[in-house]
Amino acid sequence: MKPVTMVAMAVVGVALVAAVGLPMAARAQQGPNQQTATQTTPKGWSYDIVNGKRVPKGNRQVNADGSSREEVRVGNCVTLKEKSADGTYKESRRCD
């Protein structure tokens, strides 16, 4: 082979490695948290995905005074999480 052909092949090889390697390195620097943080569940599902695991969604109501009430159903059981405006928290569980 001629020396010019060898140089051209070397330049093409370096360009190919750079074209493939740079996006991969940028993706690796993002870390695992930034890659999975954009994962959302469809609107009709009753679960959220947190750290790759299913977590039941609750029906949450927040009032204007800052109090809130959340109801989470898992099977036959209902968990009520209530927080009053002054900050007191109450959690109760009922299984039918």
Q: Are residues 34 and 77 in the same domain?
A: no
pTM higher than 0.85: no
β-bridge pairing 53-56 and 59-62: unpaired
Taking the C-alpha atoms of residue 62 and residue 5, their distance in angstroms, rounded to an integer, is: 71
Structural domain containing residue 83:
40-96
Number of domains into which the chain is organized:
2
Minimum mean pLDDT among 11-15, 18-22, 33-37, 65-69: which range? 33-37
What are the tens digits of pLDDT across the range 1-28?
A: 566 677 777 777 666 666 666 566 666 6
Q: Are residues 50 and 17 in the same domain?
A: no
Q: Are residues 48 and 63 in the same domain?
A: yes
- Flag whether pLDDT at 33 surpasses 60: no
Q: Which residue has the higher pLDDT, 20 or 81?
A: 81
